[in-house]
Amino acid sequence: MKTIFLSSVLLFLLNLSFPAFSQPKSKTGSEIKYGQNSKNGRYLQIRGFRMYFEVYGKGEPMLLLHGNSGSIESMQYQIPWFAKKYRVIAVDSRAQGKSVDPSDSLSYEMMSDDFNALLDSLHLDSAFVIGWSDGGINGLELAIRHPDKVKKLAVTGANIRPDTTAISNAEIQSMVQQVNMLSHAEQYPELANQTKLVRMMIYQPNISHETLRTIKCPTLIIGGDHDIIKPEHTLEIFRNIPGSQLWILPGSGHNTLIEFKDEFNEQVGNFFSAARL
């Protein structure tokens, strides 16, 4: 659903990890480790936790929001492409990546308020926003709760409900099983944090059609025709955001901005640069 790797919790319990995506290389041939780049990264004490983010490029600000249990590294194919034109702000969301959050609660509303506070701290009145999966939900919530902060919004693989109209029952049951496994395991901070992230996906988000209709910024709704999020649910989101655009990628699963990174970047770039009608 919203996690980039739905089985990550099971591997987490086994102390395994997924291999990192192949890193883009700079012109000098050295690897840029997005999410681990101290030259471009910094921490900000904000709303009760330390938020980590990295900034690349110059121009109008752009906010990149990753999926559940992901990090800045998840957006590594977008950062260098958009940094050619924009001031890209890639963020580790609350309780993910290097943004450690010890609290026992988590919601998409909280995270959207975090991003609003980040933009305020950087003295930015608004930004272009790209959100993937949970990051897409965060983007929708940011446009709903802080409409002045979003110039244009592109979201891929987002959902507005955590039920079988949005995803399959098998995916829901998988997450429930993951939480049960985590709850019965020996508890320590990292495990408790992972439980919090998965539990959030089971019960959230809960965004109504009426609330979606309050979104005023130009919005591009994206999904794969084999996405974990059902295409009909993606279509439902599109139909309830006034003036929005829809793009369903043929042959794509949930990882649209990795599987079709070049096409994704170009289409989203064109959407952002197009004059507003």
- β-strands 61-65, 87-92: how paired? parallel
Give me the domains of the chain, ranges plus CATH numbers: 8-17+32-271 (3.40.50.1820)
Query: H-helix or E-strand containing 50?
Result: strand 49-56
Under the banding of pLDDT at 50, 70 and 90, the label for residue 159 is: very high
Give the Å distances, CA to CA, from 200 to 38, 87, 98, 105, 161: 30, 31, 19, 9, 12
DSSP class of residue 21?
P
User: Is residue 137 scored above 60 in pLDDT?
Assistant: yes
Handedness of CA 141, 264, 20, 161 (dihedral sign): positive
Tokens at residue 218, please? 């130009």
Q: What is the pLDDT of residues 255-266, one digit of tens each?
A: 999 999 999 999
Residue-level pLDDT at 7: 40
User: Tens digit of pLDDT for each residue in 186-241?
Assistant: 878 888 899 999 999 999 999 999 999 999 999 999 999 999 999 999 999 999 99
The whole-chain average pLDDT of the chain stands at 89
Percentage of residues of the chain with pLDDT beyond 90: 79
Report pTM. Answer: 0.90
CB-based contact 203:229 (threshold 8 Å)? no
Give tens-digit pLDDT for 61-79.
999 999 999 999 999 999 9
pLDDT tops 70 at residue 12: no
Reported confidence tier of residue 102, pLDDT bands at 50, 70, 90: confident
Nearest-angstrom CA–CA distance, 154 and 176: 29
